[in-house]
Amino acid sequence: MSDPMQFADVSIMRAGGRDLRVAHWRLNQPSDRFPVLFFNGIGASLEIVAPLAEALSNRAFITFDMPGIGESPEPIVPYTPQTMAWTAARLLDRLGISQVDIMGFSWGGVIAQQLALQYGARVRRVILAGTTAGLLAVPGSPLALARLGDAPRLAGRDEGGRIAARIVPPTIRGYAYQLMAMAGWTSAAALPFLKKPVLIMAGECDDVVPLANAHILKGLIPEAKMEIFADGGHLFLATHREQAQTAIRTFLDAPHLEREV
C-alpha cells in the first residue's frame, strides 16, 4: 500500500503571525465539494491523519501541526482556542479558501468548536470526534492518556509503521501549551446557538473521552446527529475505519442540511 503522505503538498506557511507546517491534498484539483479542515488530537502530527485525507478522495483536505507539534516551530507564548481559531482563519485566507467543512478529533475538537462559533460564516458543516465541551467534560482514565501517543495504532496497521517512522515527537513546550490552552475553556454556553449541521462521533468504550461527553454535546447542539461506534475506544477512527469514513462521507455529502442563521 502506498504512503498517503506522498500525495500531500507539505510546506511551512505563515499565518496569524505563526509559522505552521501545513499539509493539503487535492487543493488545486477542481471539485464541487467543500474542502475539509482537520484539527488533530493533542501531541499528534499531521502524518496521523494522512490515511483519512486520502480516503476522502472526492474533496480537498487540509491540516496542520500545532505550534511545537510535529514540524511546526515551537511557540514562544501560550495560545488559546480563540487565538488558534483566528490563526486557522488566517491560514484559510492564505490558501484562498472562503468556506470549509471542519473536523476536530479529541483536543482538536475544541479548536473546531471555537472556529465554528467564532467564524461561523467560514464554516459549513462540523464533525466532532471523540471530544468534549470543555469544563463540563466527564473525565477519562488517566492511564489511558499514555496510549494517545501510539502512532501505529492511530494510523492503523497498514500505514502505521511508515507513518510512525516519520513523526517528530512534540516538544515539551508545545505539548504543555496544548494542555494550557484547555484551561478554563468551555463551549457549553455558546453551543445552543451554533446554527450549523453537526455530526458527533464517539467510541462506545472510549476511556480517554467517555461516551457521556458525546451525549453532553448532543444535548447542547440543536439537531446534532450522533454516530456511536460499538466497542470502539478513543481510536475508533482507526479501529472502525470503514464505518467512520462512511459516516463522514455520508454527512458531508448529504444535501439540504444547512439551516437559516
- Cα 74–236–34 angle (5° rounding)? 70
Q: What is the DSSP annotation of the chain?
A: ---GGGG-EEEEEEETTEEEEEEEESTTS--SSPPEEEEPPTT--GGGGHHHHHH-TTS-EEEEPPTTSTTSPPPSS---HHHHHHHHHHHHHHHT-S-EEEEEETHHHHHHHHHHHH-GGGEEEEEEES---BTTPPP--GGGGGGGG-HHHHH-HHHHHHHHHHPPPPPHHHHHHHHHHTTT-B-TTTGGG--S-EEEEEETT-SSS-THHHHHHHHHSTT-EEEEETT--TTHHHHTHHHHHHHHHHHHH-SS-----
Give Cβ neighbours of residue 157 (< 8 Å, ≥ 6 apart): none
If one counts every other C-beta atom within 10 angstroms of the C-beta of residue 179, the result is 12
C-alpha pair distances (Å), 89 with each of 110, 220, 236: 15, 25, 28
If one counts every other C-beta atom within 10 angstroms of the C-beta of residue 100, the result is 23
> Residues with catalytic annotation?
106
